[in-house]
Chain A
């Protein structure tokens, strides 16, 4: 089985319940608001799923280093092989999560309109708008994942105080992506920078952090677990 295939098999039992909880919470809150006010003026899905996708991938980035690296090395894979597999896994996961955020937003708009609960301020998403929104969400999801991985790698490889220093650098992709590409519950970009420039800066920060992560991990000693 391919490395990323194994990673998906490992994470499947975690992803599915997580998605079920997310959808349940989103539907419940939206139903409550629509039930109370008769309508909703923003995208609850964008709020919940948008942040869930980012933070979940941040945690996945951490877990890849803390939990999966040694399992793969212990089962006969090199660190570089693991990094390549984790890279493919991370890319697919980031794209999928971003796509789910955007498609869910679109679906939410259609359903709200059908039940007559779509308020005035609600960010209606056209098909073209979907692509634009994906272009904002995806750089964020991948940035968070790389941030999580690099922060964890610093602590994995070095003593805590060096880990703290690395953590500051590791936070950069997430901060840059949030600051330049972040969107609010109305689907509006918070920053004023033109999109192409914001995208380029965010991807550059993520790519640099990714390279740093590769350097930190590619020769690292596999830690013993206490016990």
Chain B
């Protein structure tokens, strides 16, 4: 569910993006209406609508007038590309910084990752 550490509309958008990435939401599949979403998660419908509007703006969802909102055909690919780009700056770089602080060498990390695989 949601916390109030960041705007809920961003959390909604992130949640749906994760569902698209994981394949829980398929391309061209209809997503919940904002009212259904609001009732299900017990949040204000305007907040839900803002989250969905953000996703339409980003091209993750598209609207069919009078029917509802659907996952864009290329949404998954676009999201993956964006996340891959961010993966190194947002996940790997902070990890390397922390490793440096505690004195773990890159070799050791590589060995660990290799072992995990």
A–B direct contact (CB < 8 Å): no
